[in-house]
Chains A and B, each alone.
Chain A
């Protein structure tokens, strides 16, 4: 058994599983913090009930997210020791900063938030939640700076047989990382908004707790609309930068084989990697790919054929995940916009409520597709242009990785089932009556 392949599979599985929970943590923490600040300022008890109801779902989700995050940090050492030794000078620092600057704050203060309802004033308790939300998102920022460096390595020199830091500011203000942050975090907000809107839709559909869920919906719909429009606009800027920094990813995500000016974009195609062409192409728009990559309909876009075969990412997976992400990403502003118009007549518009219930998983799919695009599209590099994934793994036996992989599937299967069962159970139960603190 090839330990490199198994390690890739394990890393992909554990990261994607972890990232089922992280986006909701990022967005829902902000929403719960907003609700609680409103409660602290107005004393309106509905806001307290909202804080408690959405807070409970937040905590179950957080528990699974936080425990599955630990494994990711340590897997760089266990499974990717060559990588760790080669780039630890830069990459390791970013993870260490994340822990000391953000993760400590998030974990410590969340403990205070959960158990401190009777020990702090209303406002102090609300501020604690604001800090939890801020720390979660700052934590995401450092992780994305680390990932951004793998996508677009900057600020380093080759020295002592490894990559060494020579410009810390260049690493922190890496344009690729900033664009990733501005894309991933708002996407997480979209996911969280759809989570709140979807669960609200369920109760409104059943005509229960109408005031409570209408108000929850109204908060989420604004949050979701702003974030989803932002994601689309920012995604466009992101694509231009990818074209510049990672031309192989761009070519693969468009299954673009021949270098040409006025490069077309196809709506759908079936890439045939062996024969370096597309089997079927549907909906070809001339010049659109040139525009996407360079904001100029006549610009030249390098095709896959002009890159050596060993430098090309897997085309099919990159191509499909990009399409899935964009298609869903376009849908979200539309759905939230409709919600904004219907927000005072939600109960009557039962079709819309049904759509929104069904839409809960869609941002999850979009966000996972986005990560597949980012990570698979970067292949065959672990650090783009600098280190190949094949050279990065640990010298561990295949059976060891196989054993941990099986254990991950079993344990994560259990966590995922229980986590979503509890979230579902508590979501359906609806808000409880609470005594004012």
Chain B
């Protein structure tokens, strides 16, 4: 029981880390056509992600791999049920990834426009769809007694699912704008700061609406009411949201970005804690739900994988922090002049 529960939260944590790392990449990519007024601005924006986005994306691969390893049945049902949504996300990620590399390789305005479009779509589409997917999981999927999904892509586009998509998009937009406030200077930085400040009230309203709507559309609050101490998770999310505004006012952009990360982790865990022990709740009948207990791998696999994760994820975090510290400053002209730069 304990092993499965640990894995449930490790699973949630990996998704949360993916959202705070690749989340700002999605944000920067979504702001790209609006904040990147000149080619120089655009290059600064993508080079601010340059050394880091690929390592960030591996958190997705790991979250997916861990779902497969620890909860094979969830992996099977989740990705086949969300077939079209996941395929759209994959195509978006593919195009975004190559666009960074391809964009600067041919000197032609039309060529750059093509890859600019791909960077934008490749960022905004996953930002929204991850939100839609997770909101639908919070709400429960129409799964029958054989764990078969009784619905289609349109089933997912219900009001609560769409609100989830909007929430994630605004989280990532603010997160990305804060990232640009840290790593750029001059006009671009001023525009990024203004964008973060301007989007913040919208994010706050959407987040509050989502919390309220969750009480109606989902059973998430049941766990909170049973153990009121858990409300601390929601408080953390709210503290993060307020922290963004506070640190923005003090021009402490890195702290604001950390507050934004806290808000994203809080929001993810708001759902994860509320779901426990369900990984994929069934809307048709709670008995058909996939839980940490009926969908888990064998205890042996869970133990071995836990050792792998406890041994290697800290190492990953160490070298990723090293990488972030190497590239913590502003993107400079010298960085752009590098032959390998995007």
Contacts and interface: CB of A to CB of B under 8 A. Distances in A.
Interface in A47-90: 52, 55-56, 59-60, 63-64, 66-68, 70-71, 73-74, 76-79, 81-82, 84-85, 87-90
B61 interface: yes
A115 B93 contact: no
A168 B50 CA distance: 38
Nearest to A62: B101
B76 interface: yes
B187 interface: no
B51 A116 contact: yes
B239 interface: no
Contacts of A64: 98
A74 B72 contact: no
A93 B47 CA distance: 34
Given A70-B93, A110-B54, A166 B98 contact: no
Main secondary structure of the interface of B (DSSP, over half): helix
Given A89-B301, A96-B66, A432-B339, A114 B79 contact: no
Given A108-B323, A115-B327, A422-B105, A74 B58 contact: no
Contact of B297 (A92, A111, A117): A92
B153 to A, nearest CB: 9
Nearest to A64: B98
B72 to A, nearest CB: 2
Contacts of B64: 73-74, 77, 99
Contacts of B98: 63-64, 67, 415, 418-419
Interface in B232-274: none
A404 interface: yes
A426 B101 CA distance: 13
Interface residues of A, number: 75
A306 B102 CA distance: 54
Interface stretch (B173-181, B210-218, B221-229, B305-313): B305-313
Contacts, number: 225
A232 interface: no
A437 B54 CA distance: 25
B87 interface: yes
B162 interface: no
B206 interface: no
Contacts of B297: 88-89, 92-93, 164-165
B199 interface: no
Contacts of B87: 78, 404, 407
B323 A70 contact: no
Contact of A97 (B78, B79, B101, B308): B308
Contact of A67 (B62, B97, B339): B97
A102 to B, nearest CB: 10
Nearest to A97: B308
A119 B323 contact: no
A400 B84 contact: yes
A84 B68 contact: yes
Nearest to A100: B312
A159 interface: yes
Given A67-B98, A100-B65, A114 B340 contact: yes
16 contacts: A63-B102, A77-B78, A84-B72, A84-B76, A88-B73, A88-B75, A92-B75, A100-B65, A108-B55, A111-B323, A115-B338, A164-B301, A165-B304, A166-B300, A400-B83, A434-B339
Interface of B: 47, 50-55, 57-58, 60-62, 64-70, 72-73, 75-80, 83-84, 86-87, 90-91, 93-95, 97-98, 100-102, 105-106, 148, 297-298, 300-301, 304-305, 308-309, 312-313, 316, 319-320, 323, 326-327, 334-335, 338-341
8 nearest CB pairs, A to B = A88-B72, A77-B79, A92-B68, A96-B65, A108-B55, A81-B76, A111-B51, A63-B101
